[in-house]
Structure 1
Amino acid sequence: MSSKPPASSAGPPRPNFLHRVSHHIRRYSSLHLSLANLKRIAFAISLLSCLSAGSIMLFSLFSTALHEIVGLTYFQINFIAAMSSIGMYLCLPGLGYLGDCYGPAVLLLLLIWFFCPSYFFNSVLVARLQQLPGSSYDQVPSSYVYGFATAFFFIGLATSSLYFASVITCAKIYPDHKGLAISLPITCYGLSSLFGSQLMKMAYFKHDGSSYLDLHKAFNFFGVLYIIMGILNFVSNSIVIVEQDVLFAAPSLPDETTPLVSLAADDEDDSNSLLPQRSLVEPQHHHQRYIQFLHDKSAWILLVATALNLGPLESYQVNLGSILKNSTYHTDLSNQVSIIATSSTISRLVLGGLSDYISSDKRAYPICRVWLIVLVLVVGAVGQVANMYISEDNEQWYYIISILNGFSYGGLFTVLPTIVASIWGIDMMGSTWGSFMVAPAIGSVGYSLFYGKQIDSNCVNGGASCLSEYFNVTGVSMACSLVLVVAVWKLIWAKRGFALF
């Protein structure tokens, strides 16, 4: 009499196609790549990922078309922008903690899960809205607004996953040069918005020959782009996910030129190789140190300062199109976006290297990195307040204002994480800097909604003076953040031995 074998003896499930492909990629890289080359490849892939990650920074281009073509009010647009900021920043504490515990490769898996469906969903919403008869600013169904907001929330989340994984990877691969290692991926992120703004100037992306974007084509383009980036990051995950312990613990290895043959053994349980696994990547005493960080009053003061400076700059970039429209002159929005992106990119690269140089112990008179924050905040405050003094006679100065705001934005996103890594440790950077990203989320939401309320109620007839109250508030906000940063440095960090870092 025959009987079926028990279910428990059936053995592990057969690996699917993606697992087999991933296994072959990892095996080949382990046999043929030295540690030094693996570090270079991981670094290069991270930079390439950042070069494509900045589509969310083109929101000022999207917002103009959402208002003029789709029919959304500025308050609705700023609500959508606020949701993108919440997705982009408010989830970063959890993402950073995951990156520290499991390695940044796990964050890259979120890329294709959120980017592609969200952009394609936006494209469908735009197509359906344009088919509605006689839609105007007060007739767009609220369900569409909530749909856009949800999609941009996930786009923000995917942006942070891709960007943050790249920054953590670069910083942990080359911890002795953290200023430059952090600034390079951030620079590439800035370049992505520059490339994107120029690409969107092509006639193909214009709506019926106008100066506004054809959002249906633009959203479809980014959906396809991130499918390609998802495939590339699948390859990079396959290379890095097994070797990440070696990659981030490189000082313990005697020879970086030796192929990683020891990591090439066949795993019988390879079907679970892409799942998160705790490893040497996680910092020692991670949980206890993170709790201590959360109880550090200096961290909370710096959090408030970050909300007060990055909030206005985020809102400024989101609303640049309407700021230009309600001024007394007209200039090309794509060019202004490009100027801000270029200025931001240059400041990221220059200040990253400069922060390492001026604070080096090898210099006769080293200078603390905090002075760079002071410089950046002064520039940002001037860039905000100066918007109230633009007229038809000196409109060329607006290019300088765009440079000032771009310089301040890029500088803050370069020097602030470097300071956080210096005070609380490079190995905890994912958790600590991720927690600080709550600040621009709160700041961006608050200032964006405040801006939307101001422009909808005060700028019916246009004119630079209609936004004077808004720019007064943002200028004072930047000045207050400067005072808080200097105070926390002199009154708390200096007493802990961080007078110079």
Structure 2
Amino acid sequence: MVAEQEQSHRKTRIVSVVAATTISLACGTNYAYSAWAPQFAEKLQLSATQSNIIGTAANIGMYASGIPMGMITDRKSPRLAALIGMVALGIGYYPIHLAYDGGAGSMNVALIAFFSFLSGVGSCAAFQGALKTATLNWPTHRGTATAFPLAAFGLSAFFYTVIAGIAFPGNTSGLLLLLSFATSGVVLVALPFLVVVDHVAGTGYKTVPTSERSRRDSNLLHRTRSNGSKYTSSSSAEPEPNSSQQDDDTDESSSLMSGPGDVVDDTEDAKSTHHSHYLDVTGLALLRHVEFWQLWILMGLLTGVGLMTINNIGHDVQALWNHYDDSADKDFVAHRQLVHVSVISVCSFLGRLASGVGSDLIVKKLQMSRFWCCAVSACIFMLAQVCAIRIENPNLLWAVSGLSGLAYGVLFGVFPALVVDAFGPAGFAVNWGFMTLAPVVSGNIYNLFYGAVYDAHSEVQPGGERSCNDGLSCYRTAYYVTFVSSVLGILACLWGIRHEHVLKKRLEGEHDGHRDA
């Protein structure tokens, strides 16, 4: 009976990860902005700065809503957050589709930016629900479990632009219509299967402590339950099965409450060094910890670099092709824009998947810090900025889009696990919301700076649309700034690695002291 129940729970957890991954596939469509932004700006006669305001509004919606959506996810349910996301995605994209069909003057920039903001809010809400579900259901394999929804998020732009390219070739209106209905529709279909198994109150699950550390964690769990927390740990339906089952149960419980996603058993308790820095710190209490500022600064430095290219690769393509081959028609340039959006999306997908799974291996097998994944991301970003500053041939621009997507994917593949490592899983959604305020600041600054640089080299055509024919000069100055940001990101990663090493030595010393006592 116990085995059957365990098997049933495992199947439900697997299905929930599939549902979370499916929902995430609808949440990364803001990164497809470059696929339709130049055509949208041309038809509505918008400047590059105005176009970047619209794109930045989506980023702000995605990242600034992290805290309120996180509170709903943590305190209510992941499914409610996903439901809110479904509604906001539809309400956000459809008016933008109508504005494009209406042409210049049909809707002012502020209103378009507002609907773009709503599409970002919808992406954030649905993604929060998906990621939280994966985090809770697989506490001892967080890096791997979250890698799948994170990877799907990165693949989202590619998924929808390819479908639009087949169903509506060269039709920006069709792409916007697809984004309006397909994103919310995918969330609606997957929503019933988004179930949290390990943290449903009243399951009657119980963990039997088998070590001193496990007893401490069990006592903490008991106090948490006594204080009315909705989150409870579970792994077995039997209070006292065989001894090996007890060990497995305890590992899952202790990892959920205080571990980084690695399995810790009694035999490795003494030498395990990758514990959460603090137990379930959340909200404004984060601001008192240096680990929060390490992660927040690092995220701001690197996401700003990635967002500038993600939002403006379409303008890069347009500028280089206008200068390189003035015979290239608009349909050809639009197709090249779609190609680069797809390259960014696919490379982001690969980076997220590799980083999420790889970070677990780094922790479990090599006993190293996950920050090394961030260091890899920062180095790839730096290389991408060098390419962006030097490449003048548009046929080679894939190096910029590919490296940028890969670096962005590696960064986001590991970052949720870093946050859980530092502050525990119970308040993860709110904590992630605090972290995603960093891209609001850096992404806004870098995107608007890019728009100002591009506009300074642009000319207004007789029809009212703007274009820049100066090639690399149209935007190169902006990439000097992001190059510096990526170098600072490398230094921030080294700072994090050093701090974690110092903390590990301190914990080892405290552990040895308690053992001797």
Same structural fold, with TM-score higher than 0.5 when normalized by the shorter chain: yes
Which amino acid in 1 is paired with 2:424? G
Equivalent pair of 1:367/1:500 in contact (CA under 8 Å) = no
The letter for the 1-side match of 2:149 is P
Q: Name the residue aligned to 1:35.
A: 9
1:466 paired to 2:474: yes
Deviates more, 1:198-207 or 1:83-92: 198-207
Q: Is the 8 A contact 2:198 2:233 kept in 1?
A: no
Residues 197-242 of structure 1: per-residue CA shift (max 9 Å, x gap): 21222362524xxxxx2x2x322222222442353245336x6699
TM-score, normalised to structure 1, is 0.77
- SS of 1:359's equivalent? helix
After TM superposition, give the deviation of residue 367 of structure 1 in Å. 2.3
Equivalence for 1:444: 443
**SS of structure 2 residue aligned to 1:337:** helix
Aligned partner of 1:421 in structure 2 is 420
Matches of 1:124 and 1:303, distance apart in 2: 37
Over aligned residue pairs, what C-alpha RMSD do you find?
A: 3.0
CA distance in 2, matches of 1:148, 1:499: 52
Residue 91 of structure 1 contacts residue 157 of structure 1 at CA under 8 Å; is this kept in 2?
Answer: yes
Cα-to-partner distance string for 1:292-341 (whole Å, 9 max, x where unaligned):
32211331233122111101211211111111111244761111111111
CA contact (8 A) 1:493 1:499 kept: no
Please list the CA deviations of residues 46-102 of structure 1 after superposition, one character each: whole Å capped at 9, or x if unmatched: 111112222222100120111222321111110111111111001102222322222
**Between 340-349 and 320-329, the greater mean CA deviation after superposition:** 320-329
Relative distance call for 1:496 and 1:110 in structure 2 (3 A) is same
Classify 1:76/1:498 alpha carbon distance in 2 versus 1 (closer, same or farther; 3 Å): farther
What code does the residue aligned with 1:253 have?
S
What is the alpha-carbon distance in structure 2 between the residues aligned to residue 313 and residue 117 of structure 1? 27
Secondary structure class of the residue paired with 2:108: helix
**Alignment correspondent of 2:504:** 497
Residues 80-133 of structure 1: per-residue CA shift (max 9 Å, x gap): 1111111100110222232222231120120232111222222222222x2xxx
Q: Percent identity?
A: 21
Q: How far apart in 2 are the matches of 1:381 and 1:144?
A: 37
1:154 has 2:131 as partner: no
1:164 to 128, 138, 158: 128
Partner residue, 1:318 = 311
Q: Of 283, 291, 294, which aligns to 1:301?
A: 294
Relative to structure 1, is the Cα distance of residues 231 and 484 closer, same or farther in structure 2, using a 3 angstrom cutoff? closer
Residue type at the aligned position of 1:42: S
**One-letter code aligned to 1:108:** A
For the pair 1:333 / 2:337, whether they are aligned, the reply is yes
* 1:201 aligned onto 2:165: yes
| Contact persistence 2:198–2:235 (CA under 8 A) | no
Counterpart position of 1:231: 188
**In the aligned structure 1, how far is the partner of 2:147 from the partner of 2:305?**
22
Q: CA deviation at 1:500?
A: 11
Q: Look up the match of 1:261.
A: none
Q: Distance in 2 between matches of 1:184 and 1:498?
A: 33
Cα distance in structure 1, aligned partners of 2:147 and 2:507: 20
- Aligned partners of 1:91 and 1:384: how far apart in 2? 29
CA contact (8 A) 1:306 1:439 kept: yes
The alpha-carbon deviation at position 499 of structure 1 amounts to 9.0
Paired residue type of 2:237: P
Alpha-carbon displacement from aligned partner over 1:430-464 (angstroms, at most 9, x marks no partner) = 12222100011111111111111110003443221
Is there any run of 5+ residues in structure 2 with no aligned partner, and where?
206-230, 240-255, 259-277, 326-332, 459-467, 509-517
Q: Does 1:453 align with 2:419?
A: no
Give the letter aligned to residue 465 of structure 1: S
How far residue 156 of structure 1 moved from its aligned partner, in angstroms, is 0.1
Per-residue deviation at 1:475? 0.4
Distance 2:428 2:413 in 1: 13
Contact 1:380–1:404 at 8 Å: present in 2 too? Answer: yes
AA aligned to 2:353 is L
Q: Are the equivalent residues in 1 in contact too, given 2:48–2:451 (CA < 8 A)?
A: yes
Q: How far 1:371 moved relative to its partner?
A: 1.5
Q: In the aligned structure 2, how far is the partner of 1:338 from the partner of 1:37?
A: 33
Residue 400 in 1 paired to residue 357 in 2? no
1: CA distance, partners of 2:90 / 2:19 = 20
How much has 1:494 moved relative to structure 2? 3.1
- 2:89 alignment partner in structure 1: 115
Q: 1:289 to 1:156 in 2, by over 3 A?
A: closer
Structure 1 CA distance for aligned equivalents of residues 363 and 484 of structure 2: 29
Matched, 1:66 2:40: yes
Aligned counterpart, 1:17: none
> Counterpart of 2:427 in 1: which secondary structure?
helix
- 1:233-272 maps to which residues of 2 (within 5 A)? 233-236=190-193, 244-245=200-201, 246=203, 249=232, 251-254=234-237
Specify which of 19, 25, 47 is matched with residue 21 of structure 2: 47
Runs of 4+ in 1 over 6 A off after TM superposition: 282-288, 498-501
Q: Any idea what SS the aligned residue of 1:427 has?
A: coil
The secondary structure found in structure 1 opposite 2:168 is helix
Q: Distance in 1 between matches of 2:482 and 2:191?
A: 42
Going from structure 1 to structure 2, the CA distance change for 1:228 and 1:371 (only over 3 Å counts) comes to closer
Deviations 1:119-159 (A, max 9, x none): 2222222222x2xxxx5xxxx47x52112101010100000
Question: How many residues were matched structurally?
Answer: 422
Q: Deviations 1:220-272 (Å, cap 9, x if unpaired)?
A: 222222442353245336x669984359745253269xxxxxxxxxxxxxxxx
Rounded to whole Å, the distance in 2 between the matches of 1:370 and 1:242 is 28
When residues 402 and 226 of structure 1 are mapped into structure 2, their CA distance, relative to the original with a 3 A threshold, is: closer
- Answering whether residue 59 of structure 2 is matched by residue 103 of structure 1, we say no
Higher relative contact order (CA 8 A, sep 6+): 1
CA distance in 2, matches of 1:428, 1:230: 23
AA aligned to 2:56 is A
Q: Residues 399 and 226 from structure 1, CA distance in 2 versus in 1: closer, same or farther, beyond 3 angstroms?
A: closer
**Deviations 1:279-300 (CA, angstroms, capped at 9, x unpaired):** xxx9899997534322113312
| One-letter identity of the residue aligned with 2:489 | S
Cα distance between partner residues in 1 of 2:314 and 2:507: 41
2:107 is the alignment partner of 1:127: no
- Specify the alignment match of 2:363 in structure 1: 359
